[in-house]
Structure 1
Amino acid sequence: MGVPTVREEQAIRRLTDRLVESFTDTYPVERVETVVGAARSRFDGHPVREFVPILVERIARRELEAAPSSAEDGTVFSVAESAPSTAQSGAGRLRNTDLRQSIGAVFAGKRTAALSIAAAAIVAAIVVTIAVRQTDSPAITGPVAQSPATLHGVVGSEKIAFFSDPKVVEALARNGVKIEVDPAGSRQIATSVDLSKYDFAFPSSGPAAERIQRARNITAKYTPFSSPMAIATFQPIADLLTAAGVVRPGPVATFDMARYLELARTDTQWDFLPGNTAYPVRKNIVVSTTDPRSSNSAAMYLAIASYVANDNTIVQGPAAEQAVLSSVSKLFARQGYTENSSEGPFKEYLSAGMGPTPLVLIYEAQFVEAAARGQVKPGMVLTYPSPTVLSKHTLVPLNAEGDRIGRLLSTDPQLQRLAAEHGFRTGDTAPFAKVTADNHVPVPADLIDVIETPTYDTLEHLLDSVTQTYN
């Protein structure tokens, strides 16, 4: 069975962009993408892929150029021009002249000594197969009518909205896939979830993915998108912490972790801050996180805090682990109850205001996505820990179908654009920049003050030590 290559994916993306530009006044982008996807699906299973983008563009352009109300009877001939057969009506049909023109265009651009009679026979066989398929199938009027394969994954909760998006569902269906996902904390995915019933696992960081890979002896992985850790707060809180030397305002506000650890070490409460009339409560200044025993975002927070507590050095070895343990454990033990996934505390931030959650550790993507949905209210502020870490959402395929999903999410142009709409950073920076600009979210274009996490083993040791303080 033919497998599309990266070169083919790039060619399909370019031809789609050309068609979108050509028909921008006639059809919405989604219609053009649907037509391209339908045309491409006709070549599923063909081992020879070299001419697929050329033929796909000609098929799609023919359909888009046809007036929506002027469907014609299409007559399909074999390449040998044997007796014709009449296909069903529809502007999406390939007529005999279309087939010959498509083949002619291919050969016109490929007339070299390398194009042998055998190659011509292969192209002819592809077109004959298209003709046979068309006599048995209805005209294209939307997404290809087929039953997509249903695959199952377990994902970090912050990606549930992405997989539930109807546009994502449609894009996957055009590629013959339906995905059903279950949410779980990333560390839960790596440690306690039964992965035998899933096709892929999609935690929110490299360390969690590495644990899965080690446990199941898997080398493959994909990182379709990423998101730095951030801290969501409110303007009155940001003003208080600016005066206390924690928040540094600017085009993109930063949160000084070293100064914050000083306040935590001295058990500073909110009502201790001078001139505090905005939030004079008798509780410690604490950033709300998820449960480090189950969630990746808390593990990333631990990576940041341990780095700062270790004199701005990545923790390595038992001595360094013990040296930072008392400082970092306090950041979690004082929170009381914590949730298993990042969705919970961020929802409380959006709905309950600064009373219960004046400072919340989140993924940048969550804030950007909420802004795009109109859920970010005036006075809500996004800050970036200094330093921060980049959470690399890493998909681990558990079988061949899971590997297909990893490749699809990493290479499909529409899925990458949709990921940006949900706040994720992808390899192409332009879609994310547009989403943040359109929704007035101040984010750093280039992440500079970013550190690496400790090694897998060190981070596990730190998490286990912090977990013991809960007991």
Structure 2
Amino acid sequence: MQKFLGLLILLAVVVAAAFFTLGKEKISTLSGNSVAKKEAVMVTGRAGSEKIAFLQSEKVTQLLLEQGLRVNVKRSGSVAMVQESSSDDDFLWPASQINVESFKSSSSGMRLQQSADIFNSPIVLYSWDIVTEALIKAGIVQHKEGVNYIIDLPKLLELVKAKKQWKEIGLAQLYGSLIIRTTDPSKSNSGNMFAALTANTLNNGEVVTAESLDNVLPQVKDLYARLGYMEPSSSDLFEKFLQQGVGAYPMIVGYENQLVEYSLLHKEHIALLKAKVRILYPVPTVWASHPLIALSDKGRKLLTALKEPEIQKLAWEQHGFRSGLMGVENDPSVIEVVGLPKSIDAVMPMPSASVMDKITTHLSSF
């Protein structure tokens, strides 16, 4: 009898434990605290270097996991990725609509299922306090409402073309002639887009066409030929800019988000960055639109997930990317970086994909 009673008690304990466990799981599921039971889908692709930290951040990874997605991403230059895409890629994430058009016209273009801008970042120049002050005195840069605007880009390019020495604009401590360092335009989008901005500027501020290209292309090529070795990615160039300083890198081309992201990842350097580094906004500039190219159903799911408001909010506040969605505001006051405008108002269109292809081809020949 006692054995029978003990067995009943043990059975009751097992049932109670099972009920408690199942009930707890049910409550957790209803409250949204558990990720779906099925294993998350792995999405594989390539992205520009400026977006790698965003995709691999803990918060973005968790938000995507909650939507059943894991991302395996490889770093690749925007121009290179659309030329070298693999059948294993579920997505490509370059930094310009021009890259999308180039992909469409490639042999792999038929794989495109969907594309959409996820967020935006204007092309800017990064420089230093002493260089910016000299450019302000020269009438090239204007400091207005806390933001440094390049109001006379034609004059700046003319100084570079004429090989004017830094000492001629009051910077005797800097060696050599004025130069604007950029990434390799045949591999990286920031270098490619600055080539477009340069060509448009040299074309009297008008968008370069197939008819006007021959007049400006030799000048653009000459400016790039003087740069020597060019970094293959924006992140590599930005890191060297910060590491080697004003003597080696007085001015570089980059994306607005790079300083924001670096400041948030290296808060111990914020005071020094505020004191020494300056963001210079060309007037007009060009937008890097960061469109995601979905090559499979998994790529389409990632595209949809990245448009979620919470991810878009993180993109701005933690990585400095301006939202690509209507109705989403980007407030500079929430970011510990000085010199960010609330909006980018002066923007120049890019040349057509066919014209950009000719520019890139010529700039990759040296």
TM-score range, shorter chain: 0.7 to 0.9
State the shift of 1:159 in Å.
0.4
Name 1:388's counterpart in structure 2: 285
State the shift of 1:87 in Å.
5.5
State the identity as a percent: 27
State the shift of 1:153 in Å.
0.9
Of 223-232 and 249-258, deviating more is 249-258
- CA change 1:139–1:242 in 2 (3 A) is closer
**Which structure has the larger Rg over C-alpha atoms?**
1
Secondary structure in structure 2 of the residue aligned to 1:432 = coil
Which one of 238, 260, 263 corresponds to residue 371 of structure 1? 263
State the shift of 1:222 in Å.
1.4
Name 2:356's counterpart in structure 1: 459
Matches within 5 A, 1:125-140: none
Which one of 150, 153, 157 corresponds to residue 49 of structure 2? 157
By relative contact order (CA 8 Å, sep 6+), the higher-ranking structure is 2
Matches within 5 A, 1:227-266: 227-250=121-144, 251-255=146-150, 256-266=152-162
State the shift of 1:446 in Å.
2.2
- CA change 1:139–1:223 in 2 (3 A) is closer
Secondary structure in structure 1 of the residue aligned to 2:286 = strand
Q: Which amino acid in 2 is paired with 1:212? A: F
Spell out, residue by residue over 1:234-264, the C-alpha distance to the aligned partner (whole angstroms, 9 max, x if none): 1001011122222222221112311111102
Name 1:343's counterpart in structure 2: 235
Matching of residue 304 in structure 1 with residue 201 in structure 2: no
Matching of residue 147 in structure 1 with residue 23 in structure 2: no
Name 1:294's counterpart in structure 2: 187
Name 2:85's counterpart in structure 1: 194
Secondary structure in structure 2 of the residue aligned to 1:451 = coil
State the shift of 1:86 in Å.
4.0
Decide whether the 8 Å contact of 2:45 with 2:72 is kept in 1.
yes
Segments of structure 2 that go 5 or more residues without pairing to the other structure are: 1-15
Decide whether the 8 Å contact of 1:88 with 1:139 is kept in 2.
no
Decide whether the 8 Å contact of 1:203 with 1:395 is kept in 2.
yes
RMSD: 2.4
Name 1:5's counterpart in structure 2: none
Matching of residue 424 in structure 1 with residue 317 in structure 2: no
Name 2:26's counterpart in structure 1: 93
State the shift of 1:414 in Å.
1.9
Secondary structure in structure 2 of the residue aligned to 1:197 = coil
Name 1:210's counterpart in structure 2: 101
- CA change 1:199–1:314 in 2 (3 A) is same
In 1, Cα distance between equivalents of 2:327 and 2:256: 15
Matches within 5 A, 1:13-24: none
Q: Which amino acid in 2 is paired with 1:322? A: D
Matching of residue 313 in structure 1 with residue 206 in structure 2: yes
In 2, Cα distance between equivalents of 1:403 and 1:364: 27
In 2, Cα distance between equivalents of 1:196 and 1:160: 21
Spell out, residue by residue over 1:412-460, the C-alpha distance to the aligned partner (whole angstroms, 9 max, x if none): 12211221121101126766315x5431432222222101100000111
In 1, Cα distance between equivalents of 2:235 and 2:199: 24
In 2, Cα distance between equivalents of 1:267 and 1:208: 32
Name 1:112's counterpart in structure 2: none
Of 412-421 and 161-170, deviating more is 412-421
Matching of residue 180 in structure 1 with residue 72 in structure 2: yes
Name 1:400's counterpart in structure 2: 297
Decide whether the 8 Å contact of 2:260 with 2:337 is kept in 1.
no
Spell out, residue by residue over 1:157-201, the C-alpha distance to the aligned partner (whole angstroms, 9 max, x if none): 10000011011111111111100100011000112x232111001
Secondary structure in structure 2 of the residue aligned to 1:201 = strand
In 1, Cα distance between equivalents of 2:282 and 2:334: 21
Name 2:13's counterpart in structure 1: none
In 1, Cα distance between equivalents of 2:343 and 2:218: 33
Spell out, residue by residue over 1:41-91, the C-alpha distance to the aligned partner (whole angstroms, 9 max, x if none): xxxxxxxxxxxxxxxxxxxxxxxxxxxxxxxxxx9xxxxxxxxx9462655
Decide whether the 8 Å contact of 1:195 with 1:201 is kept in 2.
no
In 1, Cα distance between equivalents of 2:95 and 2:63: 22
Name 1:34's counterpart in structure 2: none
Normalised by the length of structure 2, the TM-score is 0.86
Decide whether the 8 Å contact of 2:45 with 2:73 is kept in 1.
yes
- CA change 1:145–1:350 in 2 (3 A) is farther
In 1, Cα distance between equivalents of 2:251 and 2:353: 28
Spell out, residue by residue over 1:262-286, the C-alpha distance to the aligned partner (whole angstroms, 9 max, x if none): 102211121222x434x331x2211
